[in-house]
Amino acid sequence: MAKKKHAIIVGAGPAGLTAAYHLLKLTTIKPIVLEKENFVGGLAATLNFNGNRMDIGGHRFFTKNENIFSLWQNLLPAQGAPALDDKILNRESILTDGGANPEEVDEVFLNRNRVSRIFYRGKFFSYPVSLNFDTIKNLGLGEMFSIGVSFLKAKYNQREEITLEDFMVNRFGQKLYETFFRDYTTKVWGRTPQEIGADWGSQRIKGLSLGKTLLDFVKKTFGFKDGAGETSLIERFYYPKFGPGQLWEKMADEIKKLGGEILLSANVKSFHVDKSKTIKFVKVETAAGLLTFPTDYFLSSMPLADLAEALDDGLNLRQLTIARGLPYRDFITVGLLVDKLLLKNQTKIKTLGDIVPDCWIYIQEPSVKLGRLQIFNNWSPYMVADPKNSVWLGLEYFCNEDDELWNMEKKDFIKFAIEELASIGIIDAADVRDGVQVKVPKAYPAYFDTYENISELRAALDEIKNLYCIGRNGQHRYNNMDHSMLTAIAAVCAIAGKFSKEDIWKINAEKTYHEEKK
């Protein structure tokens, strides 16, 4: 009998697990997933602190791809009855006939209302920036007129889109860009938009502009309805009862049932590229020592910088230099359990405990380093041990490894985060019950420094016959979850001879790619 072929997959995040799952479903290849952490899910994992669950970064489950949507619902059935907060408040939900009851079962996708706003000058603004009555009231007619004139000037004097600033000014005008985008982008990335490539905009806010938000405003004001709209304007999303990690834990269980392997706390150290440009084996550091795994196929979702360092004889000095210079933005989350918020719910949206309805709040106050605030109660009430009497918050800080924020002692950082949130009037420090801190290195691939030469690195990696780069970090591309999953599926199709490696890199690279449901 022919020897069974094996695929080594680095990373048990959305891309790595999706690749393993599809290899088992579509081929006879056995996947072995190597994960350096002691949990699955990668950046989409959910961590549990005394019954309060933390979603690292916040992950909405929304896609325009029917295959991805079907896969999600095959793993976790859609909500078919009111959730805890829906039930208590008699709030209307979009329920699925024959779906699961979240009050009776744990494996269920909740159908949630997306509310994200900007907190700036002590007031709330819509996110993405929208032309609505609150914006007009908060900014004033004079400033709104100035924004309108600036937008018209930008439309008639379009810039060549080299930098992210060019991209944003073309779509929003100089005035709105300076008001809402410039300083916040600098806070998130540690660089001004003049130092970031326009590619970032095409990945994250493609299709969105002041013109689109104006059209959206008119449609809502006069009751017109159309399709799903731009991705950035989607108003509902699915979310696992216990956070995104629940889905990836479910997928990991399915992979094991189908005959795949997942090794946790397994750190890839090196792999050798032979003269035929093929990876034959991988060396992995585990609790049992340094192990060697033979491989027929190698799928990597590890950061390209780490991949390059682990390659033995695979890249030249120029290509290594590009890989080593690829920038990342690191991330620190502080979870705070508080009795209440000082913010009042002045919206018409009902919530459990009448807290503000936001999933995310983008903090654009220049006086604090805090970038974004999650309210986990609103993602899912089941994320909180006692959602009726407490609020579970996630404070998100963007930083670089080894900078001042990263090196701060954990207890000092939690204290610092509490003081920042209190200083802008969101909580009273005396209401904090508990706090935790989580560091996430290489959370966000960035589009500056040697990124402009990434095509050279990509070409060299593609020459390695059995190497397939997948996922956000595996391609150094700021993908959403569904796009990361699609890169994994495309890699499996390439292994099966149905796709090329070029098709893997096309995912989310073109403005129209997967923009419409097929």
**Percent of the chain with pLDDT strictly greater than 90:** 74
Instruction: Name the more confident of 475 and 216.
Output: 475
Q: How high is the pLDDT of residue 212?
A: 53
Helix or strand holding residue 284 (H, E): strand 279-286
Q: How high is the pLDDT of residue 209?
A: 52
Q: Is the pLDDT of residue 498 over 80?
A: yes
Helix, strand, coil: what percent of the chain each, to 5?
40, 25, 40
Mean pLDDT, residues 15-22: 98
Q: How high is the pLDDT of residue 211?
A: 53
**Percent of the chain with pLDDT strictly greater than 70:** 91
Q: What are phi and psi of 153, to 5 degrees?
A: -60, -40
Q: How far apart are CA 37 and CA 40, in angstroms?
A: 7
Q: How far apart are CA 253 and CA 339, in angstroms?
A: 36
User: 110 vs 78, 86, 100, 196, 374, CA distance in Å?
Assistant: 6, 10, 9, 36, 17
Residues 169, 170, 176: CA angle, nearest 5 degrees: 35
- pLDDT-derived band of residue 97, with 50, 70 and 90 as boundaries? confident
**Nearest in space to 322 (alpha carbons), one of 458, 482, 129, 164:** 458
Q: Is the pLDDT of residue 35 over 60?
A: yes
User: 137 vs 75, 220, 450, CA distance in Å?
Assistant: 45, 18, 43
Q: How high is the pLDDT of residue 225?
A: 47
Per residue in 101-158, pLDDT tens? 999 999 999 999 989 999 999 999 988 776 677 788 888 888 888 988 998 999 899 9
Dihedral angle at the C-alpha atoms of 74, 79, 81, 85, nearest 10 degrees? Answer: 150
Q: What's the whole-model pTM score?
A: 0.90
Helix (H, G, I), strand (E, B) or coil at 436: strand
Q: Is the pLDDT of residue 215 over 50?
A: no
CA 94 and chain centroid, separation: 24
Helix (H, G, I), strand (E, B) or coil at 283: strand
Q: How high is the pLDDT of residue 227?
A: 44
Q: Is the pLDDT of residue 165 over 80?
A: yes
Per residue in 234-277, pLDDT tens? 678 999 999 999 999 999 999 999 999 999 999 999 998 999 99
Tell me the β-bridge partners of 119.
124, 363
Q: If you write DSSP's letter for every residue of 112-165 in order, what string do you get?
A: EE--EEEEETTEEEESS---SHHHHHHH-HHHHHHHHHHHHHHHHSPPP--BHH
Tell me if 231 sits within 8 A of 62, measured CB to CB: yes
Tell me if 364 sits within 8 A of 120, measured CB to CB: yes
Q: How high is the pLDDT of residue 96?
A: 86
Strands 328-338 and 391-399: antiparallel
Q: How high is the pLDDT of residue 131?
A: 67
Q: Is the pLDDT of residue 181 over 50?
A: yes
Question: Exposure of 60 by Cβ count < 10 A (0-12 exposed, 13-18 middle, 19+ buried)?
Answer: buried
Q: How high is the pLDDT of residue 518?
A: 34
Q: Is the pLDDT of residue 517 over 50?
A: no
Handedness of CA 340, 341, 344, 345 (dihedral sign): negative
Q: How high is the pLDDT of residue 465?
A: 96
Q: How high is the pLDDT of residue 89?
A: 83
Tell me if 391 sits within 8 A of 373, measured CB to CB: no
Instruction: Name the more confident of 228 and 159.
Output: 159
**Nearest in space to 481 (alpha carbons), one of 490, 471, 489, 473:** 471
Instruction: Name the more confident of 216 and 407.
Output: 407
Per residue in 270-308, pLDDT tens? 998 999 999 999 999 999 999 999 999 999 999 999 999
- pLDDT-derived band of residue 358, with 50, 70 and 90 as boundaries? very high
Q: Is the pLDDT of residue 88 over 80?
A: yes
**Nearest in space to 72 (alpha carbons), one of 86, 55, 57, 60:** 60
Q: Where are the beta strands (DSSP E) in 35-100?
A: 46-49, 52-55
Q: How high is the pLDDT of residue 139?
A: 87
Q: How high is the pLDDT of residue 219?
A: 43
Q: How high is the pLDDT of residue 201?
A: 73
Tell me if 38 sits within 8 A of 265, measured CB to CB: yes
**Nearest in space to 198 (alpha carbons), one of 452, 479, 503, 513:** 452
Lowest mean pLDDT among 7-11, 49-53, 207-211, 300-304: 207-211
Q: How far apart are CA 123 and CA 134, in angstroms?
A: 9
Mean pLDDT, residues 23-27: 97
Mean pLDDT, residues 422-433: 98
If one counts every other C-beta atom within 10 angstroms of the C-beta of residue 499, the result is 16
